[in-house]
Structure formats: structure tokens, C-alpha cells
Structure 1
Amino acid sequence: MKQWLSAVVGLSFLASSSLNGIAQSPAPQPAYLSETPITAPHAMVVTIDHYATDAGVEVLKEGGNAVDAAVAVGFALAVVYPNAGNIGGGGFMLIRPASRKLAGGKPRFLDYREKAPAAATRDMYLDAKGNIIPHKSTRGEAASGVPGTVAGLTFAEKHYGRLGLAKVMAPAIRYAREGFVLDPEVAQLLHSSQMTPYADSRRIFQRDGDFYKPGETFKQPELASTLERIAADPDDFYRGKMAQQIADFEKANGGLITAQDLASYQCKERTPLVGHYHGLEVLTSPPPSSGGIVLLEILNILGGYDLPKLGPDRSPAQIHYITEAFRRAYMDRSDYLGDPDFNPHMPLKQMANPAYAAAWRTTIDPIKPSPSATLVRPAGFMPPAPDLAPIAHESNETTHFSVVDADGNAVSSTYTLNFYFGSGVTIGPLGFLLNDEMDDFTSKVGVPNGFGLIQGPANAIAPGKRPLSSMTPTIVSEPDHHFLFFKRPGQLRLVLGTPGGSTIITTVANDLISVVDNGLNIQQAADAPRFHHQYLPDILQFDKFFDPTTVAALKATGYKTMQQSEFDEKAPGVWGDSELIAVDPHKAPAKSTAC
């Protein structure tokens, strides 16, 4: 199948933004609008790390499909990007087949999010006075949920891959056994104080204080052996000797994960959410991801506006309407969402109802912001919401990868350890870091977690429960074509995703809007400066390099604004990175710069 793809993995960089609608002044064309994406005629793998990308490309060249390549990438990132890539964490994988040859032609969503151990309790991170104990849910063994990554990746390979674990895991095993050359970014990240208190982490990743330098080869023999054992028998991680090693380590160090917790863990297949935006089908993530339904609610609200008529991309008028959609959708997120296995009656249909979006639009002032404290839901659509105090945001330390193979099958996958390097704890004999995903639960209803998103009782800690997430793997396509008794999947258009904690949803929304509404190519969309609002705290956030005149224009209308690390020269001041793929079936093939 000949198709034409373009791809990016992009960070926000210095760019200006023209003003329109709310205020107007002359401005040069933003720098990001001069960017062009990488293109290729057949297939594409996009990740945050070139070794992981190479692993996916290697597997595609060996005859693998998009799922094979995604599994190869997932295991490779566990080696070469240890701050977020993992086998000790969890995540989501969205699969869109191009035909019945894969998964019977039916889209699949794999939920391999971590689960709370059986010994977990609702108030386990509170002291005797009912106050949150600082860092207890983010550092050390007691911060970890039961890892799901190995279950998810091996399930995907077994059911939807072609090549088998031995082949798709070979690149990761090679990187761990033979080592890989550290780039400056990863070498610096290995200095993280999150790992320093823990002996095995300090020994493996920090060389007991003799920190690795850029250009050195980093080898991980314990992890290589672990990966070889998984490739030979993935069940060993959950029900074999490896599971017992994990349980023994946890017991000896005050953790909660037991052999029974591991044995009872399952990757779950859930039904993806489907919405529509300007004639395109949006396939996205169901709970325990909050990202998909919040994204669909945002798009439903914005679908009633002609955004380009308001002004160009990142103009104050566009930002105003987009922000107000963010505010309203995040309000619903905070009150209603959690693990569907524990909360089967979440009002997803109501949140995705176009009539509800239309009712929300009537509450949006064309000029002024709607203060979050005064926001009232339109009557007649949603069940009563609990009365909660606000909290703040969720981990940025996640990673995403997107894959399209030569047949047009697409995978969008996001997984995480939560904080950089998770809990900081490494199971020494096995060489991998444990997550600190328990912090994504509601430690105390109405009180901020480590990153500040509003958390309600639907996301309270309970044994065997999966915490709510903002991870939003998404795939956009043309609608399916129906012919009598069969259908043909519509043309794939976009594969989207990003890390960024609570900003994931808004970043995916902005990438999609920039491409679909504003006509940007995906490199321009990825490089455009980012903005975010999550209902509470009632702050419109901008990345460090956002045009200050645009920020000032929005502040003048009544928004409370904040620019990330605006005055810190050393801080990146941005969040997330967009790993995007676009398909253009109408463009003639040209020289490829990627697989």
C-alpha cells in the first residue's frame, strides 16, 4: 500500500503570535509556521528517542506490522529512556486496523494501567489527623501500583502482532546488553534526586555518584536478563519466579505489591470512544483515561464555531474560545470520572452529547472569561455532582509513540512511570524502576495530588482499582465507507499523542485544531507554543516562549495568566512533546527521510 506520511516529534520553541479579535497589532509571521515535517512514502515510527524509533523501524523492515513496531518501541524505551519508558509502569494502546487482516478490522483499546495493590486503603497516605503525608504517594516502595506494561505489550504482541516476542524485543535486549550512547539530555536526567536515596537506583543509574557523562555507553545487564526472561516467558513476570522476586523485594522494603497482586493483574480490552469533528472520525481513549471523553467534549463545544474566522492559529480570539471549552470539559472531568470497573455509571454519553455542548456554548461570553468559581452546568443533562474543594495538576513525565505501517494500520500509545523515574526505586536484581502511580488516585478528596488536578471520590484509592489518567492516545480518520453488508475503514488522517500530565488533553486538542481547523502541517502544530486551562486552579497557562503580547491581550480581558518558568533561563518552560503522524493520500511520492 502506497501512502504518504509526515511525522514529527516536536517541542515548543520561540515563536510569536499575531493578534486578532480581542486585540490587534502588527506581528511578524510566527517562526513555527516556517517548519516542515519529515516525510516518508510507506510507514512511520515516531518516538521521543532515536534508539526507540530505530527499534520500531527495524521491526517494520523485518515484516512486522504497526503493533509489532509499537511493542518493540515500548520495550526499547524501557532501556533507553528510563525516566519515562518502563516495564515497571503502565499505560494505554489504541489500535486502528486498516482492514480485517488485523483484529478483524475492529479498533482496539488496551488498558494496561497500573492497579492498586490489595493491601491499599482509601486513607493510606494520610496521617493520624487526616492530613496528607508529604511524598508518601510519590517516593519509595509504598507509592507503586501493580505494573501493567509487560502485560499490555505482551498481550498486544500475542493477539495482534506478527513476529513474536523474541523478534520484537531483540532491539531492547541488545540496547540493554551491549549498551547505548547517552545523549546530553538523558545523561543529565540520570542525576535525578528521585533515585539517589535508593541503593540499587543509585548503583545502576548513577554509578554511586560517579555520574555518567554524555557520550558514554550505558549498559544494563540486570535489565537485559529480565527482558530475555520476559521474551522467553512473559508469564514469568506475573506468575513465575520473577513475580516472586518482585513480591519478595516489596515485602523486604515496605512495599504493598504481593505475588497475588501480580497474578491477578490483567490487561483489559475496552471499547474506544468515537466522536466526530468537522466531518472526521475521532477515535480516542475511554476511562480510566479521562483524556478521550474530555477531548470529545472540547471538540463538541468548539465544533459550533468557525475558529479560522476568529483569527489565525494562537490568536487571542481563538485562544479565548478554546480555553473556555477546556474550562468546561475539565470541570466535568473533576467531578465524574474514575476507573470504569469501579464506576460503571459515569455519564460519558451525556458528556459527549452535542446538545450538551450546544448548551455550554450559550454560557461562553465572546470577549470575557467565565470565572471557574461561578461556572454552572447547563441544567437537564448531567447527574448531580459532588461538592468538592479544588485541587491542582498530574505528572508530565510520560512518553508517547505513534506508528503507521505500510498497510495503513495505526497505533497510538502512551505509557508512564508517573514522576521522572517513578518512585525512584529499582528492583536491583531485575534492573527496572517501579512507578509511583498511586499518586494519581485521590489521596484525600478535595485536596491536590502531587500535580494538582481536581480529584473526586470516583477516583479514591481502592484495592485492585486503576487510577484516573489524562493520557490521550488518539487517531483521526475519514468516516468508514459502508457497502451493503460490509464496511471499509475510512482513510487514516492523523495519529496523535503526547506526554504532559494534565496538559496532555489540551495539547492533543490544540494539535488537532491546528491541523484540522487552521491548516497547519503537523510540524507547525507540534512546534506552536502551548497554552492550557484545567478549570481549577483558574489560571490560563502559557509555555515559556509564548508571545508576551498575546498573553497580555488575554490578561487584559480578565484572565489570570501564568507563563511557565518565564524568568528561569535554564528551565525549558514547556510541557509535553507531540509525537504525530499525518497521512496524505493525495500527495505524490518523493524522496523519503524515514522508513
Structure 2
Amino acid sequence: MNKTIYSRFLTWILFIALFVSLPSESIAQIGWAKSYENGIVVSAEKHASQVGKKNLQQGGNAVDAAVAVQFALAVTEPRAGNIGGGGFMVLHMADGTTTSLDFRERAPEKATKDMFIQDGEYQPDLSRRSALASGVPGVVDGMIKALERYGNLPLETVIEPAIKLAREGFPLTWKQAQDLNNYADDFKEYRTSRRYFTKKDKTPYQEGDLFVQEDLSKTLDRIARMGRDGFYSGLTADRIVNTMERLGGIISYSDLKNYESKWRDPVKTSFNGYDLHIMPPPSSGSIAIAQMLTSLENYDLKELGFNSAKYVHLVTEAMRRAFADRAHFLGDPDFVRIPQSGLLDSAYNHDRMQSFRWDTVTSSDSISHGDPLQYQESKETTHFSIVDENGNAVAVTTTLNGSFGNKIAVDGAGFLLNNEMDDFTAQPGEPNMFGLIQGKANAVAPKKRMLSSMSPTIVTKNDSTRMVLGAAGGPRIITATFHNFLNMAVFGMEPQKANSAPRFHHQWMPDKLYYEEFGLSPDTKEKLKEMGHTLSVTSGVGRAHTVYVDENGLKYGAPDPRGDGAAEGY
């Protein structure tokens, strides 16, 4: 086994074993995360975190740093950090302003409800691996729009570090090399992807190899000089449309020209003295997290004990009900009526838990969506968290959906396209690549945004930022973000411990309780099986990158040990 991965594996196993063997009171006392007085950046990749830190030190605020980090990740984390996909941003500014920016991909104008159905049968490869799988990218528009409204620095300054990383290259970590090698056969299906993401001598990438992306550096330079027009029109647009036409995709010049990100009001919910500001629909995470917290507010979670059988059982049942509602009600709010106030209503969520029993599961077959209307008042990913010295906070999650998207690189432009169309309901009752069953509210329609699980979240107390949360990992984003919050807010864990603690996940369908290996003790697993849970071990439940701010304003960064992330501060 490679020496580096063996060391990481051994550290992870020992760390999880320590968590399993200790009571929650002991867990809360363990801690060694470094604190910073001024600014902090936590992202999925060290170079990107360093870019963000340097931006803050040179006079940028949290939004400037976020845009710099996003473009850096487009270079150093091609499997997820991107300019060919989309995402969400939540902001809490020092003056109390709280808002969110939706730069999620949109379905092309030529998209149809049955575009992935042939001869009456759903064809998953069309929504995951073909050019038809790509929605209209939103990252570039979103970054520029955020910078124009809240940033201090010009786009050319903010994007320059990313251009340099692409032009001069950076040394691959072991994990980055393996990521590229693991998808080499997929890249070889497409001439341009093979050229950009496999080695010319056909040997595997090695740790320390210099990864240079000349065409991507030129694309980024056009954006720096021309702004939005450097991507959505001109040479880059030509190359996107030409790639679409050559491979059977449907993104057009009109789609690119007319794409626009949107400012939206975050969903706000409160729990245990904290206020959570979460990305609203088309993010499903806000509604789901708020529902789960509301469902649990009458239970003494700390008394139950961290990851005890009763705690896991109770939280799983809350997850089951929230994900059942997600499947039925949620979609793009510009296209469907979401009964949001009903879904967030305390009485509704308490009523949903009336069927909960301490000694047995409520099977997903017997749990459908609820009826929130009577309670109405008259969506592979990367996440990063930033807080600057003035208290401005930004949470950003972006994605290509699957790792490296649909594996199609834009010829001459150097970046990969997303396969986000798979996040729509291609056919009711058919699971997407993450196993999610979804309903008509999320059906494909022209210019519609697909439902997402990305859940960037900012947690405040007395209007001051206390946590910046979010994760990568499909629907497990929701549960990873949810767990991290509870670990700090209920169990008092230091942020790195909260982030490293073993997690579990349930998404209604399939009716399985996923848990991380060594994350549950043997007797806990036996008790859960006796209750009727179907257990399934998994390699990981999300990858989260967290910032915590204490009462004195000290900032703590917590990258996830499940990935290659890094915290950088000063």
C-alpha cells in the first residue's frame, strides 16, 4: 500500500476508534484546532485555501476571497471545483445583511420532460454520461455578480492566482493523482478530455507530478479581462456550443447569453439558541435540515448520548420523514409552488413524528410525504467556508454533480462540463445516481433549475457569525451539515472533532441506514438491527469544511479528514 495513503488510513482508523470508545462528555473535551484572530479560509484543497488567505491579507473581504477560492478550485480540484457547473452562496455581512445567491445550472431551452426516455424506458447514461447531461453553467455569472455587489477588489486581481496556477501548474497530491487515474478510462472516451486529463505517455499520474492546464489558463484570462462576456459569449461560448453540437448536446448561444444567477432570501430556522441561515430552494437542504431540527427540538439529544442506539434511531426517523417530503414537494421555486411555511411549521413536523416509536422503525414503504398545506400561512461537490477580520462570512458549495461531471471537456477551453441534468426527475420512481427517488415537482423543463442537496449554511447567535457550514457528497451533504451543527451546538464538540466524528445517513429511499465503518459500536449496531433498521456500511457521509467563531471572535478552521482539505488563516 502507498505509504501516504497507509498513514492516512491508519490515522483515520485510530481516530474513529477513539470516538467510538469515548462517551460524549469526553469527546467534547478533546481538541487541538488552531485559532486565528483575523481571517480564515477552509476549502477542499490546500492551494485554494492559500489563495483565499492571501486575498484576505491583501485587502480583500470574505466575498473577494470566496471568488478567488472558487476560481482556484476550478484549477486544482477539477473533479468538483469548476467553471462548468453551478452552485450556491450564502452570505452574512458584518452589517447584519444576510442573503444568498443561486448560481445553479439551468436546463437548456431545448430540454424536454422526456428527453432521457427512449421507447418508454429511462436511459440513465443519457442523463449522466452524455452531452445531454449538461445544464447551462452558472459559476462564472455567480462569482461576478457576488463580486460586483459585495466585493472590494477588481475581478482581474481576484482571478490572477487561479490563472497562474493553471499556467504554471501545481504538484499533484497522492489523492489528486488517484482521482485522475481512477477516471482515466472515462476520459479516454473523449478526445479533449483525454488530452487534458491523462498523460501523453499514457502512464498513470504520480504524487508530485506537475499538472499544467494551458487552455484553462487562457479561458480564465478571458474572464478576467472581459468579465461575463469572457465566458457566456465570444471564443469560450463558441467552444462550448461547438462541443455540444459535435457530441449531441443542446446548450445553445441563447442559453449562455440568457443565463442569470438570482439573489434569494435564505431559509432561517432556530435551534438550541442558534439561528441557521440556509440556502433556500432549489436547494433542498434548507427545508430538510430545518424540518429535522424542528422534529427533534422536543427531545434531549445530549442525554441520549452521541451515536448511541437511541440517538441514531431517533435522528434516522427524522431524516426519513424529511427526505420523504423532499421527494414530493421540492423543486425550482420559479416553476413549482413549494408549501414552504407549512413544511417548516413546528406543529407539522411534530405531527410527522407522532408515528415514531422508540423500539421499532417506521418503514419507508409506510412513510409518504405529509400534508403541509393545512399548516400554510394565508441538489461530486466541493464546499468552502470563509470569515474575514471584519466578521463578514461566506459559505459556498459548487458542483459538477458526478465526479468530473459527464467527463466531457470543452475543446480548446480546458474545463469539464457538468452532468446536473441527472438531478432532475428523469422519470418518477426511478432513482438518480445518488439513489434519490424524486417527484413531478422536479421534472425537467426548459430554463428550470434542478433540485440540489447543496446546503451552504451560516449559523449566528445574537446576529454574530458562529459557524460556517456545508459539505460535499450528494444527498449526504444535508446530513453531514446537519450532524456537524448538532455535534457543536448540542454535544459541545470542538469544530475539528465535530467534523471528524463518524456520521450516519438515511434518505427515505432506499430504506437503508448508512453508517461509516467503525462509526457505530457492535452493540449499537445490534440494537439498531433489533429495531428493524437495515444497516449498510459506507466509506463516508459527506466531506465538510467548517469555520467556528467563539465568543471572543477567535476563528477555528476544520477541514474534513475524509478528503484533502486545508484551513489557512492569519
Q: Same fold (TM over 0.5)?
A: yes
SS in 2 for 1:450: coil
* Superposition map of 1:283-302 within 5 A: 283-302=277-296
Distance 1:54 1:588, change over 3 A: closer
Instruction: Give the CA deviation at 1:71.
Output: 0.4
The aligned counterpart of 2:265 is: 271
Contact 1:15–1:32 (8 Å) recurs in 2: no
The aligned counterpart of 2:6 is: none
Contact 1:369–1:557 (8 Å) recurs in 2: yes
Contact 1:339–1:465 (8 Å) recurs in 2: yes
Match of 1:476 among 446, 459, 474: 459
The aligned counterpart of 1:236 is: 230
Distance 1:216 1:548, change over 3 A: same
The aligned counterpart of 1:580 is: 546
The aligned counterpart of 1:421 is: 404
Distance in 1 separating the partners of 2:208 and 2:214? 19
The aligned counterpart of 2:569 is: 594
Match of 1:371 among 360, 363, 378: 363
The aligned counterpart of 2:47 is: 51
- Are 1:541 and 2:534 matched, yes or no? no
The aligned counterpart of 2:386 is: 403
Distance in 1 separating the partners of 2:555 and 2:262? 39
SS in 1 for 2:16: coil
Please tell me the residue identity of whatever aligns with 1:50: K
Distance 1:218 1:358, change over 3 A: same
SS in 1 for 2:146: helix
Distance in 2 separating the partners of 1:509 and 1:398? 17
Distance in 2 separating the partners of 1:360 and 1:67? 39
Please tell me the residue identity of whatever aligns with 2:534: K
Please tell me the residue identity of whatever aligns with 2:468: V
Contact 1:16–1:547 (8 Å) recurs in 2: no
The aligned counterpart of 1:113 is: 104
Q: Deviations over 1:265-323 (max 9, x none)?
A: 00111111111111211100111000111110111111111111122x11111111111
Q: Deviations over 1:492-536 (max 9, x none)?
A: 111100001011111111111111011111111111111001111
Distance in 2 separating the partners of 1:259 and 1:377? 40
Distance in 1 separating the partners of 2:76 and 2:218? 16
Distance 1:285 1:62, change over 3 A: same
Instruction: Give the CA deviation at 1:12.
Output: 6.9
- Are 1:162 and 2:152 matched, yes or no? yes
Structure 1 runs, 4 residues or longer, greater than 3 Å off: 11-14, 16-19, 27-35, 376-384, 586-590
Report percent identity of matched pairs.
Answer: 41
Matched positions, count: 540
Distance in 2 separating the partners of 1:162 and 1:90? 23
Instruction: Give the CA deviation at 1:553.
Output: 2.2
Distance in 1 separating the partners of 2:356 and 2:218? 57
- Are 1:465 and 2:448 matched, yes or no? yes
Instruction: Give the CA deviation at 1:378.
Output: 6.1
SS in 1 for 2:471: coil
The aligned counterpart of 2:432 is: 449
- Structure with bigger helix share is 2
Please tell me the residue identity of whatever aligns with 1:213: Q
Contact 2:286–2:455 (8 Å) recurs in 1: yes
Q: Deviations over 1:540-561 (max 9, x none)?
A: 1101232341222211221111
The range that moved more, 459-468 or 371-380, is 371-380
Instruction: Give the CA deviation at 1:586.
Output: 3.2
Instruction: Give the CA deviation at 1:241.
Output: 3.1
Please tell me the residue identity of whatever aligns with 1:98: A
Distance in 2 separating the partners of 1:431 and 1:124? 28
Instruction: Give the CA deviation at 1:575.
Output: 3.1
- Are 1:177 and 2:167 matched, yes or no? yes
Instruction: Give the CA deviation at 1:29.
Output: 5.3
Distance 1:206 1:383, change over 3 A: farther
Please tell me the residue identity of whatever aligns with 1:61: Q
The aligned counterpart of 1:151 is: 141
Match of 2:194 among 202, 217, 234: 202
The aligned counterpart of 1:77 is: 73
Match of 2:496 among 504, 508, 523: 523
Q: Deviations over 1:340-376 (max 9, x none)?
A: 1111x21110011011122123221123221121226
Give me the CA root mean square deviation: 2.2
The range that moved more, 108-117 or 236-245, is 236-245
Contact 1:347–1:382 (8 Å) recurs in 2: no
Please tell me the residue identity of whatever aligns with 1:76: A
Distance in 2 separating the partners of 1:281 and 1:199? 49
Normalised to the residue count of structure 2, the TM-score between the two structures is 0.91
SS in 2 for 1:110: strand
Distance in 2 separating the partners of 1:316 and 1:378? 26
Match of 1:327 among 285, 304, 320: 320
The aligned counterpart of 2:117 is: 126
Distance in 2 separating the partners of 1:229 and 1:376? 50
Contact 2:505–2:541 (8 Å) recurs in 1: no
Contact 2:75–2:166 (8 Å) recurs in 1: yes
SS in 2 for 1:446: coil
Distance in 2 separating the partners of 1:380 and 1:341? 19
Contact 2:343–2:372 (8 Å) recurs in 1: no
Contact 2:27–2:493 (8 Å) recurs in 1: no
The aligned counterpart of 1:15 is: 16
- Are 1:341 and 2:330 matched, yes or no? no
The aligned counterpart of 2:248 is: 254
Please tell me the residue identity of whatever aligns with 2:115: M
Instruction: Give the CA deviation at 1:383.
Output: 8.9
Normalised to the residue count of structure 1, the TM-score between the two structures is 0.87
Distance 1:266 1:521, change over 3 A: same
Contact 1:337–1:459 (8 Å) recurs in 2: yes
The aligned counterpart of 1:138 is: 128
Instruction: Give the CA deviation at 1:428.
Output: 2.3
The range that moved more, 46-55 or 185-194, is 185-194
Contact 1:17–1:546 (8 Å) recurs in 2: no
Distance in 2 separating the partners of 1:382 and 1:140? 42
The aligned counterpart of 1:7 is: none
The aligned counterpart of 2:477 is: 504
